[in-house]
């Protein structure tokens, strides 16, 4: 569900298993063109073996300083991680924001994702 105000738009996504390499795509609606300001994740359980790295992309290009590392050591449901991309972060209406996981961790754990766009 997306929320709107005069300055920010919040989009959400969901990776069913952060420990399996793959990606999801979050569509950008007409009202949401702007710059990605922040990406937040919330882990839904503990991961093991290695850290999971999420890489946000637009049009196949990784956002500068946008990667999120979800640390496996001490991980638990409800852990929140944040990135604030500094470049390659402009989205247009009709784009899709890709969130790619490297699958480096173990345990089939979901992660919720929120992307905040400044208009």
User: What does pTM read for this prediction?
Assistant: 0.92
Integer Cα distance of 33 and 70 in angstroms = 28
Exposed / middle / buried, residue 76 (Cβ in 10 Å: 0-12, 13-18, 19+): exposed
pLDDT in tens, 22-43: 999 999 998 899 999 999 999 9
In the structure, what pLDDT confidence band is assigned to residue 48 with cuts at 50, 70 and 90?
very high
Tokens of 117: 């766009």
What is the architecture, at CATH level 2, of domain 3-118? Sandwich (2.60)
């Amino acid at each position: 569900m997306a929320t709107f105000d005069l300055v920010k738009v919040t989009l959400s996504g969901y990776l069913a298993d952060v420990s399996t390499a793959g990606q999801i795509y979050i569509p950008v609606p007409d009202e949401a063109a702007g710059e990605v300001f922040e990406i937040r994740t919330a882990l839904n359980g503990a991961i093991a073996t290695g850290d999971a790295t999420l890489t946000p992309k637009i049009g196949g290009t990784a956002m500068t300083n946008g990667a999120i590392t979800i640390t496996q050591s001490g991980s638990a449901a409800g852990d929140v991680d944040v990135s604030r991309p500094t470049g390659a972060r402009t989205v247009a209406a009709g784009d899709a924001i890709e969130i790619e996981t490297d699958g480096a961790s173990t345990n089939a754990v979901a992660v919720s994702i929120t992307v905040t766009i400044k208009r």
